[in-house]
């Protein structure tokens, strides 16, 4: 309530004589904290320090883990169930980490510049919807296939050597298993105005740039304004996933400004058309944009199913890529060892004058009983030797065994599982009435299905070629070893009898060629595999019986075939991405406060957005049958803006106002809180049950060496004022309530003095009823907001 002395906060703590906000502990921290957020489900606090380390603590301040991602951390948020944390990095990457150990689960570069803000929201469901979900979806892949294959690693590397990636495979399975999760969306915004949307945090399903969106309001439907040089400050998706509130800085250009240019304010406050220019003279500042994201709710079942399959296919593509890369490295390393040793024979032949002779002729001559030539004798006894031969044999045959392991444990299972998953997508794509609306194109999925089959044929073909080649190498090495022992002379009883016919085949087709390497050649050059004409003719005849329409796949290397496969999936998944992106549009727009153009790029004020349950029938959400939520938007107003000094602005009902069908009515209300002189707002956070937590610092003086205050406001008792939605004459509607600003009174209510200067951030946990504050002397202080002894004891 409001009286002559200002706004009176709830007096529960003060009226009983006790000190509100019990201090739980005060702990030193190694570095100043710049970002902090409590886990929504557990008593865990994630903190990002100034030196870009992320540290996870329990409520009792036990450190669970800490990691340094190697890049600047610019934002973070928790998955709604608290089992994973997302980090936004300064290079545009979003990395997901396991809450248990900090292991990297997935890293996706969704932006080209720093990720300024993150918001991860899960769709709210009523109990009846959970019990009667007609479109519940079970991933059937696990019925027929074992768990998804791991990404292969170079032999000898442990989990620590591979950047913690090996141990994250099991955690990724849980992350990608969307069957047992409610549909959730990760939103990310950057300083260039881009907002990305990812289903379950791993499947990109939309991206927009607010600079390209046409600004729209309920009062002015035909406006064609744009927001120039827009930079995202904060995003908040509603529990229904239907609307996204975006706080962004930038300059409004278009019809709104032209409308203001035609108006002038009179002394009596009325507006007259034909005036000289806009009130306050600037369209640059902080703005609030409301985006319609109703497709996430209306098509959540379809998006859920596509995201389930597509995210796993993306993971399988990574498994295939790493498998091919590792096989190529290992095989060509082994071939380099072989060629390095056996190329010496060519040099010896030339040095002995054998210009018309080659190594194959020398070996064939020895095989068929001719006398050993001097260069071959010198090569076998001196240059190669038994030890050298065993090293080469170990390198080649060992590489062959490793390639077989990669094929059978990683590559082939990945392709087979991919074939099943794309088959699931193929079935969904034929359900046009449901899945065409989200861009799942049947033709593109058919092409991806065929490419997956082609690649599987190539993998099986490669495995057979590898088996034959390794057998020929082993037989050849046995024969050469026997020859070396005869020349030494040494007994040959322990050597397996070589097959002379296989030695001939090796010398003819393998010695100076590389059938295995042909399959593993990079796709950069014009490499091709020689195919038997009869085989090609047979493949062409199979087209009439449903065979692959692209008969040239037998001539392509594995890398070339994989590139085509990956491109097909990119095109197939780009269609839902583009379709969803086009269906996100601006539903409402509200300028908040102006700011000089010279400072707009560095504008950074405390802001907070939240949704609370509302009991008013005027804002009921009948369309979705979900609990009605009323939005609140809080922000600190810069001193030089709107002729206000040391004020906080609060808006409520923006999303409800956009649903109003009456153009003349508005449910949007606002309030300006005036902070007493000598104090300034360091940070603020909306809290449960329509409460606002303020963190204030007191000016330093001779009597006061620096102290701060934390206070709680009950917002449903504050005198909100309805504001008009007409931009005629004044772009900044919030100025309408400046005259009715409410003075804060720190001598009353739920207020706690903190005997230190504090800094941002203020981290508040609604589920645990605690707040963490960080002092300038590098200390972390945790306060109990809800004086409920049972709740505190549970956390301890």
* Rounded CA separation 297/438 (Å): 12
Q: Which two tokens stand for residue 147?
A: 């768990």
DSSP class per residue in 667-708:
--EEEEEEPPTTEEEEEEEEETTTEEEEEEEEPP-SS-S--E
Nearest partner of 761 among 603, 605, 599, judged by Cα: 605
What is the predicted pLDDT for the residue at 739?
Answer: 75
Cβ-contact 291, 360 below 8 angstroms: no
Q: Which two tokens stand for residue 62?
A: 């036990």
* Rounded CA separation 746/667 (Å): 30
Cβ-contact 425, 309 below 8 angstroms: yes
- 3-class SS shares of the chain: helix, strand, coil, % to 5: 35, 25, 35
What is the predicted pLDDT for the residue at 725?
Answer: 66
Q: Which two tokens stand for residue 72?
A: 């600047």
* Rounded CA separation 465/445 (Å): 30
Instruction: Give the contacts of 544 (CB within 8 A, at least 6 positions apart).
Output: none
What is the predicted pLDDT for the residue at 18?
Answer: 58
DSSP class per residue in 178-231:
-TTS--EEEEEEETTSEEEEEETTTEEEEEEETTSSPB--SS-TT--BEEEEEE
CB-count exposure of residue 75 (10 Å: 0-12, 13-18, 19+): buried
What is the predicted pLDDT for the residue at 489?
Answer: 80
How confident is the chain (796 residues) per 10-residue block, as mean pLDDT? Answer: 40 50 91 95 94 93 93 96 95 94 91 96 67 61 84 60 43 61 92 95 94 76 75 94 94 64 40 38 84 94 93 93 95 95 89 77 86 87 91 95 95 95 95 92 95 93 95 94 85 76 93 91 70 74 72 84 95 95 92 84 89 59 60 90 86 76 65 91 91 89 74 89 65 73 83 91 91 93 74 39
Q: φ and ψ at 86, to 5 degrees?
A: -105, 135
- Bridge partners, 66 (sequence order): 55
* Rounded CA separation 299/276 (Å): 48
What is the predicted pLDDT for the residue at 173?
Answer: 62
Q: Which two tokens stand for residue 439?
A: 């861009």
Residue 649, helix vs strand vs coil: strand
For 771, how many CA atoms within 13 A lie in the half-sphere containing its CB? 30
Instruction: Give the contacts of 443 (CB within 8 A, at least 6 positions apart).
Output: none
Q: Which two tokens stand for residue 333?
A: 């390393």
Determine how many CB atoms are found less than 10 A away from the CB of residue 463: 16
Q: What is the maximal distance between C-alpha atoms in the chain? A: 119
C-alpha distances in Å from residue 544, one per residue of 250, 444, 538, 548, 649: 60, 21, 11, 9, 71
Q: Which helix (H) or strand (E) holds 26?
A: strand 22-28
Q: Which two tokens stand for residue 124?
A: 């709210």
What is the predicted pLDDT for the residue at 576?
Answer: 95
Instruction: Using the structure block, give the residue that is written with the tokens 């918001």.
Output: 119
What is the predicted pLDDT for the residue at 704?
Answer: 59
- The bridge status of strand 679-687 relative to strand 2-3 is unpaired
Cis peptide before 489 (omega within 30 of 0): yes
What is the predicted pLDDT for the residue at 370?
Answer: 72
Instruction: Using the structure block, give the residue that is written with the tokens 């005060």.
Output: 26
* Rounded CA separation 773/781 (Å): 5
Instruction: Give the contacts of 514 (CB within 8 A, at least 6 positions apart).
Output: 335
pTM: 0.85
Cis peptide before 761 (omega within 30 of 0): yes
């Amino acid at each position: 309530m409001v009286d002559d002395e200002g706004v009176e906060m709830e007096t529960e703590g003060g009226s009983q004589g006790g000190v509100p906000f019990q201090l739980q502990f005060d702990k030193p921290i190694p570095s100043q904290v710049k970002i902090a957020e409590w886990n929504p489900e557990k008593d865990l606090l994630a903190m990002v320090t100034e030196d870009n380390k992320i540290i996870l603590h329990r409520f009792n301040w036990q450190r669970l883990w800490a990691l340094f991602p190697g890049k600047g951390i610019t934002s973070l948020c928790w998955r709604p169930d608290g089992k994973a944390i997302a980090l936004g990095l300064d290079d545009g990457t979003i990395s997901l980490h396991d809450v248990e150990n900090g292991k990297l689960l997935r890293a996706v570069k969704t932006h080209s510049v720093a990720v300024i803000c993150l918001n991860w929201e899960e769709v709210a469901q009523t109990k009846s919807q959970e019990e009667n979900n007609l479109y519940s979806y079970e991933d059937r892949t696990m019925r027929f296939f074992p768990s998804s294959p791991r990404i292969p690693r170079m032999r000898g590397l442990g989990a620590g050597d591979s950047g913690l990636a090996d141990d994250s495979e099991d955690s990724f399975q849980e992350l990608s298993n969307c069957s047992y999760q409610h549909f959730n969306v990760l939103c990310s915004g950057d300083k260039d105005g881009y907002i990305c949307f990812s289903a379950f945090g791993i499947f990109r399903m939309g991206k927009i740039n607010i600079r390209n969106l046409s600004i729209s309001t309920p009062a002015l439907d035909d406006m064609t304004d744009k927001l120039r040089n827009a930079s995202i400050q904060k995003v908040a998706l509603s529990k229904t996933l239907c609307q996204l509130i975006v706080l962004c800085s930038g300059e409004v250009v278009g019809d709104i400004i032209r409308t203001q240019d035609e108006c002038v304010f009179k002394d009596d406050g009325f507006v007259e058309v034909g005036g000289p220019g806009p009130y306050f003279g600037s369209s640059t500042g902080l703005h609030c944009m409301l985006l319609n994201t109703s497709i996430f709710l209306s098509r959540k079942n379809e998006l859920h199913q596509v995201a389930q399959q597509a995210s796993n296919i993306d993971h399988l593509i990574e498994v295939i890529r790493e498998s091919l890369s590792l096989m190529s490295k290992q095989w060509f390393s082994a071939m380099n060892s072989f060629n390095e040793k056996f190329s010496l024979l060519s040099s010896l032949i030339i040095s002995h004058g054998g210009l018309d002779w080659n190594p194959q002729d020398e070996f064939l001559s020895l095989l068929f009983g001719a006398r050993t030539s001097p260069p071959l004798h010198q090569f076998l006894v001196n240059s190669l030797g038994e030890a050298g031969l065993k090293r080469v044999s170990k390198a080649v045959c060992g590489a062959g065994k490793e390639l077989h392991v990669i094929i059978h444990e990683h590559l082939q299972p990945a392709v087979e599982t991919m074939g099943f998953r794309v088959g699931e997508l193929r079935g969904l794509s034929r359900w046009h009435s449901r899945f065409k609306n989200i861009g799942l194109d049947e033709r593109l999925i058919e092409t991806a299905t065929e490419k997956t089959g082609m690649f599987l044929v190539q993998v099986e073909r490669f495995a057979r070629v590898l088996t034959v080649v390794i057998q020929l190498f082993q037989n050849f090495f046995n024969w050469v070893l026997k020859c070396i022992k005869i020349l030494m002379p040494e007994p040959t009883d322990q050597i397996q009898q070589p097959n002379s016919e296989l030695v001939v085949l090796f010398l003819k087709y393998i010695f100076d060629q590389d059938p295995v390497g042909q399959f593993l050649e990079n796709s950069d050059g014009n490499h091709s595999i020689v195919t038997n004409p009869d085989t090609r003719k047979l493949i062409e005849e199979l087209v009439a019986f449903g065979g692959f329409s692209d008969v040239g796949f037998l001539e392509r290397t594995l890398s070339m075939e994989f590139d085509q496969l990956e491109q097909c999936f990119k095109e197939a998944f780009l269609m839902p991405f583009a379709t969803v992106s086009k269906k996100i549009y601006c539903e409402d727009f509200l300028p908040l406060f102006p700011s000089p153009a010279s400072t707009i790029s560095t504008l950074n004020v405390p802001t907070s957005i939240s949704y609370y349950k509302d009991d008013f029938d005027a804002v009921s959400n009948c369309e979705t049958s979900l609990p009605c939520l009323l939005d609140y938007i809080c922000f600190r107003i810069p001193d030089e803006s709107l002729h206000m000094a040391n004020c906080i602005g609060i808006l409520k009902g923006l999303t409800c106002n956009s649903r109003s069908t009456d153009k003349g009515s508005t449910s949007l209300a606002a309030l300006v809180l005036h902070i007493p002189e000598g104090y300034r707002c360091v940070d603020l956070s909306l809290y449960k049950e329509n409460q606002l937590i303020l963190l204030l610092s007191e000016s330093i003086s001779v009597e006061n060496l620096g102290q701060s205050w934390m206070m709680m406001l009950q917002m449903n008792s504050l005198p909100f004022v309805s504001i008009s939605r007409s931009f005629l004459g004044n772009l900044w509607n919030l100025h309408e309530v400046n005259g009715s600003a409410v003075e804060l009174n720190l001598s009353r209510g739920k207020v706690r003095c903190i005997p230190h200067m504090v800094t941002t951030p203020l981290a508040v946990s609604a589920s645990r009823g605690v707040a963490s504050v960080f002092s300038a002397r590098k200390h972390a202080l945790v306060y109990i907001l809800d004086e409920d002894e049972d709740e505190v004891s549970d956390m301890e």
